[in-house]
C-alpha cells in the first residue's frame, strides 16, 4: 500500500512545482530583477547611484510631490463621495438601491483613460452637454480639467468606488443589536450614526481610503490624459515620457523611479492592512444584519439628491462621450437629424490600427482570462483546501504583481523579457507575447481571489471522499473540485477579461506597431486630436465592458459571497 501514497504525494508536489515556476517566472522574478536593477551603482560607480541620481533630480522630486499631492487630494475626494454614497445607500430606506448601487459602481467598470476622455468631452469648450446649457468654457479656452485639480477630481471620482465598497462592507458588519441598544438608550438615528456606527465603520473607511491612495499613485490613464497637456507630471507619466523619449537604454533609471513608486504603494498597502486588522473587533457576537433607518418624509429628498449626484458623477460624462462620438462637424448642434456614425466607420473600417487593436485586445484578454482561471483553480485548491504551506505562500505572493502599480510591473517585465529567452534567440520584446506575459502576471490575483472565496465554501470532505475512493490529485481536481468552483473561477475570468480588454497602463509601455491594444488606440486617437474617433472606440469598448459586467451580475446570484466585488 506504500506505493499509491507516495505517488499521490509526488503528483501533488509536481503540481506545486509547476505552479511555483509559473508564478515565479511571470511575476516574482521580474519584480526581484527590478529591485536589484534599481539598486545598481550609477554610471560613475557610486553605490546606489541610480536610485540616488533619480532621487536627487529636480524632475523626480517634482513628480514625486505631484504624485503625493494629487493622490492624497484625490483620496480625500473619494472618501467624501464613497462614504456619503455608502452611508446613504446602506443606512437609509431609499428605494431602487440596486439601480443606485450599479451607478455608484460605474466608475470602477470604466477604465481610467476613458473616464478621463469622457470628462474632457464633458467640460471642454465644445461640450455637447454643457454647451447648450451655456456652462461650457469659452471657445479656445483650455479645458479646466487639464490641471492638478482636474486630476484630483476625476481620479477621486474613479477611486470613490473602492471607498464605497469598503465602507458599505464595514457598515454591513455593524451588528444590529449595537444600533438598537443605542436607540433604546434614547439616541436619535443621527446620534446613533455619529456615536456608534461611524466609529465602528471607520477602520473600513480607512482601509478603503488607503486602497484609493494606492490606486491613485499607480494611475496612468488620468494623469496622462489630463496632466500631460496640463504640464503636470506624476511618477507614472514621468516614467512613460522617459521610456517613450529615450527607449530601453534608460531602463535602469526608470527602474529606480519605479522603486520609488513601489515604496509609496507599499506604505499605502501597509496602512490598509493595519486598518483591516483594527476593524476586526466590531464583528464579535452574533446578531442580525443592520436594518436601514426610516427617513419618513425626508426620503424623497434623499433619493432626489442621490440620483442627481450620482448622475453628475457617473452618467453625465458617459453621455458626453456618447454625444461626442455621434457629433457632426464642429459647430453643428447635435440632434437626431445631425447625429452621424462616421466616427465609428472611420475608427473601425478606415483606420487599420484600431480594428487591429480590437482584435489584439480581445485575444489578449481572452488568453489572460482563460490561462489565469486555469492556474487559479489548482493553486487555490492547494492553498485553501489542502492547506499546503508552500501553496499558501504562493497564494499571497501571487498578489504582488497586481498590488504594485502597473507601470512598475511593465518595467520589470521589460527588464526580464527584453533579452532573448534563455537557450533560444527569441525575444518577446516588440511582440504581443510580452503584453500577454505581463497580463498573465498582473491579473492572476483577479482570478485567484474569487476562486479562493469559492473554494472556501466547498467542504474538504468532498475532496477526502474522492481521495479515499482512490482518485489522484489531477483526477480530484477535474472531477470533484473543478465542478464545484467553476462558477467562481469563471467570474474571476470575466473580471480579468473586462479589465484586460481596456488595459492601458501596462500596454502603453509594452506595445509596438502592429501590437497595439484597445487602451493604446483610444489614448493615441485622442492624442492625435481625433477625439470623436477616440470617443467612438471608447463607447464601443464601454458597451462591451458593461454587457460583460451585467452578465457577471446575473451570474453573481448563484455565486458565494465575495466572488463578485460589486454585488449589491
- Which residue ranges make up the site for another protein (CB under 8 A)? 175, 177-178, 180-188, 191, 195-196, 199-200, 281-282, 284-287
What value, to the nearest 5°, has the Cα angle with vertex 466 and ends 464 and 468?
70
**Smaller CB separation from another protein, 231 or 297:** 297
Closest CA to 22 of 444, 496, 449: 444
State the nearest-atom distance from the C-beta of 274 to another protein, in Å.
16
Cell numbers for 76, please give them. Answer: 480625500
Alpha carbon distance 158, 169 (integer Å): 19
SS3 288: coil
Q: How many C-beta atoms lie closer than 10 Å to residue 189's C-beta?
A: 17
**Smaller CB separation from another protein, 285 or 331:** 285
**Smaller CB separation from another protein, 97 or 356:** 97
Residue 92's beta-bridge partner residues?
293
State the nearest-atom distance from the C-beta of 194 to another protein, in Å.
11
Alpha carbon distance 420, 381 (integer Å): 34
**Smaller CB separation from another protein, 147 or 287:** 287
Q: Is residue 319 within 8 Å of 118, Cβ to Cβ?
A: no
State the nearest-atom distance from the C-beta of 184 to another protein, in Å.
5
**Smaller CB separation from another protein, 198 or 269:** 198
State the nearest-atom distance from the C-beta of 179 to another protein, in Å.
9
**CA–CA distances in Å: residue 76 to residues 69, 84, 211, 232:** 11, 12, 12, 19
**Smaller CB separation from another protein, 296 or 337:** 296
State the nearest-atom distance from the C-beta of 96 to another protein, in Å.
20
Residue count (the chain): 568
**Smaller CB separation from another protein, 245 or 296:** 296
State the nearest-atom distance from the C-beta of 285 to another protein, in Å.
4
DSSP assignments along 493-552, one per residue: HHHHHHHHHT--TTHHHH--TT---HHHHHHHHHHTT-HHHHHHHHHHHHHHHHHHHHHH
Give the CA dihedral 194, 197, 198, 204, nearest 10 degrees.
Answer: 180
Give the DSSP letter of residue 379.
H
State the nearest-atom distance from the C-beta of 187 to another protein, in Å.
5
State the nearest-atom distance from the C-beta of 191 to another protein, in Å.
6
**Smaller CB separation from another protein, 95 or 188:** 188
Q: Is residue 284 within 8 Å of 423, Cβ to Cβ?
A: no
Amino acid at each position: 500500500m506504500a506505493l499509491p501514497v507516495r505517488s499521490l504525494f509526488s503528483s501533488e508536489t509536481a503540481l506545486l512545482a509547476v505552479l511555483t515556476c509559473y508564478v515565479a517566472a511571470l511575476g516574482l522574478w521580474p519584480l526581484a530583477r527590478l529591485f536589484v536593477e534599481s539598486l545598481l551603482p550609477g554610471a560613475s560607480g557610486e553605490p546606489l547611484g541610480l536610485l540616488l541620481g533619480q532621487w536627487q533630480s529636480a524632475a523626480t522630486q517634482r513628480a514625486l510631490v505631484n504624485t503625493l499631492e494629487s493622490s492624497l487630494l484625490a483620496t480625500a475626494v473619494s472618501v467624501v463621495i464613497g462614504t456619503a454614497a455608502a452611508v446613504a445607500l446602506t443606512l437609509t430606506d431609499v428605494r431602487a438601491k440596486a439601480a443606485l448601487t450599479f451607478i455608484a459602481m460605474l466608475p470602477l467598470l470604466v477604465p481610467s483613460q476613458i473616464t478621463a476622455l469622457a470628462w474632457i468631452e464633458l467640460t471642454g469648450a465644445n461640450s455637447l452637454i454643457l454647451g447648450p446649457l451655456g456652462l461650457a468654457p469659452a471657445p479656445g479656452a483650455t479645458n479646466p480639467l487639464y490641471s492638478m485639480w482636474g486630476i484630483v477630481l476625476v481620479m477621486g471620482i474613479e477611486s470613490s468606488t473602492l471607498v464605497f465598497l469598503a465602507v458599505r462592507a464595514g457598515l454591513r458588519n455593524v451588528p444590529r443589536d449595537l444600533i438598537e441598544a443605542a436607540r433604546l438608550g434614547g439616541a436619535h438615528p443621527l446620534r446613533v450614526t455619529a456615536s456608534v456606527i461611524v466609529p465602528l465603520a471607520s477602520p473600513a473607511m480607512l482601509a478603503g481610503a488607503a486602497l484609493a491612495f494606492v490606486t491613485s499613485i499607480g494611475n496612468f490613464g488620468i494623469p496622462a490624459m489630463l496632466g500631460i497637456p496640463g504640464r503636470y507630471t506624476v511618477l507614472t507619466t514621468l516614467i512613460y515620457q522617459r521610456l517613450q523619449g529615450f527607449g530601453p537604454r534608460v531602463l535602469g533609471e526608470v527602474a529606480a523611479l519605479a522603486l520609488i513608486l513601489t515604496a509609496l504603494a507599499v506604505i499605502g498597502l501597509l496602512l490598509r492592512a493595519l486598518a483591516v486588522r483594527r476593524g476586526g473587533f466590531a464583528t464579535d457576537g452574533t446578531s442580525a444584519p443592520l436594518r436601514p433607518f426610516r427617513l419618513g418624509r425626508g426620503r424623497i429628498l434623499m433619493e432626489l439628491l442621490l440620483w442627481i449626484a450620482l448622475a453628475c458623477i457617473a452618467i453625465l460624462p458617459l453621455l458626453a462621450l456618447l454625444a461626442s462620438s455621434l457629433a457632426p462637424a464642429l459647430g453643428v448642434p447635435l440632434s437626431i437629424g445631425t447625429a452621424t456614425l462616421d466616427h465609428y466607420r472611420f475608427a473601425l473600417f478606415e483606420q487599420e490600427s484600431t480594428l487591429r487593436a480590437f482584435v489584439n485586445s480581445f485575444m489578449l484578454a481572452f488568453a489572460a482570462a482563460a490561462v489565469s482561471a486555469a492556474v487559479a483553480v489548482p493553486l487555490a485548491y492547494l492553498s485553501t483546501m489542502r492547506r499546503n504551506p508552500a501553496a499558501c505562500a504562493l497564494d499571497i505572493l501571487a498578489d504582488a504583481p497586481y498590488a504594485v502599480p502597473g507601470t512598475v510591473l511593465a518595467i520589470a517585465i521589460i527588464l526580464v523579457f527584453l533579452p532573448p529567452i534563455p537557450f533560444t534567440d527569441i525575444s518577446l520584446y516588440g511582440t504581443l507575447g510580452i503584453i500577454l506575459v505581463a497580463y498573465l502576471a498582473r491579473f492572476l490575483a483577479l482570478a485567484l481571489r474569487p476562486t479562493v472565496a469559492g473554494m472556501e465554501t466547498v467542504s474538504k470532505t468532498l475532496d477526502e471522499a474522492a481521495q479515499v475512493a482512490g482518485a489522484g490529485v489531477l483526477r480530484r481536481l477535474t472531477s470533484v473540485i473543478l465542478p464545484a468552483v467553476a462558477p467562481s473561477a469563471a467570474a474571476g475570468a470575466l473580471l480579468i477579461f473586462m479589465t484586460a480588454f481596456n488595459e492601458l497602463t501596462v500596454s502603453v509601455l509594452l506595445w509596438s506597431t502592429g501590437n497595439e491594444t484597445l487602451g493604446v488606440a483610444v489614448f493615441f486617437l485622442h492624442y492625435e486630436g481625433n477625439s470623436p474617433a477616440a470617443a467612438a472606440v471608447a463607447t464601443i469598448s464601454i458597451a462591451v465592458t458593461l454587457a460583460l459586467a451585467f452578465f457577471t451580475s446575473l451570474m453573481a446570484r448563484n455565486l458565494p459571497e465575495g466572488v463578485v466585488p460589486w454585488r449589491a
